[in-house]
Amino acid sequence: MNATPIKVLVIDDEPPIRKLLRMGLSTQGYDILEASNGKIALEKLAEDPALIILDLGLPDIQGHDLLRMIRGRNEAVPIVVLSSRGDEAGKVQALDLGADDYLTKPFGMDELLARLRAALRHQLQVQGERPVFRSGDLSVDLVRRIVKVGERDIKLSPKEYDLLRVLVQHAGKVLTHRFLLKELWDELTDAQYLRVYVRQLRQKIEADPERPQFVLTETGIGYRLRAAD
């Protein structure tokens, strides 16, 4: 258990979900704040939560509007969204509005805990970006622009490196197609360009490009780089 518990704000209008999260997260040393609607959630922001779990289906404020409001008040706090099954467009919109990750209901507590840890690691990385990123056998030196898998040097084209650099800077976070296209080209570029470069990058850094361990696909949404170790 942490000496100073990490404060998590759970925003969900379903009492059974809040109880599940309260019990599951408390046993892992998290300090839980609860909000059953958007109005209460905005008030709870004054208690400075270190993480937010946000259900998009709230009774008073539309979930994406609330997400936009939270980001307007706090640009850095990690936000993990809970979404209904099959709500792909809603997930993409939430990520584009600044959510760090999403989970589809129903979800497992172990998966949620892993996503929360990844979101926290991503926040720490952004606040004090490390010059060398490591995840498993993959290492990326952002200062010297050196990429290795194990002891093997990986030669990347400029665009392949730019793609990997953006993924590294947001490791553990789901990046939408739109975000990556805007960062690497412009939003009008066909997403097929992105798929081509992701495929080329995987060919160079993955042991089995068909079963990637580093650059993970979020089907219909975007990509995620496995978080740092």
Contacts of 196 (CB under 8 A, 6+ apart): none
Q: What is the pLDDT of residues 10-54, one digit of tens each?
A: 999 999 999 999 999 999 889 999 999 999 999 999 999 989 999
CA 88 – CA 85 distance, rounded (Å): 8
Structural domains of the chain, count: 2
Q: How confident is the model at residue 2 (pLDDT cuts 50, 70, 90)?
A: very low
Q: Write down which residue in 96, 127, 158 finishes a domain.
A: 127
CA 121 – CA 155 distance, rounded (Å): 27
Residue 213: the pLDDT is: 96
Say if 53 falls within a structural domain: yes
Say if 2 falls within a structural domain: no
Tell me, yes or no, whether 77 and 142 share the same domain: no
Regarding pTM above 0.75, the answer is: no
CA 215 – CA 204 distance, rounded (Å): 11
Q: Write down which residue in 109, 127, 145 finishes a domain.
A: 127
Q: 53 is in which domain, residue-wise? A: 7-127
CA 211 – CA 208 distance, rounded (Å): 5
Tell me, yes or no, whether 91 and 68 share the same domain: yes
Residue ranges in 128-190 assigned as alpha helix (H): 158-169, 177-184
CATH of the domain at 153: 1.10.10.10
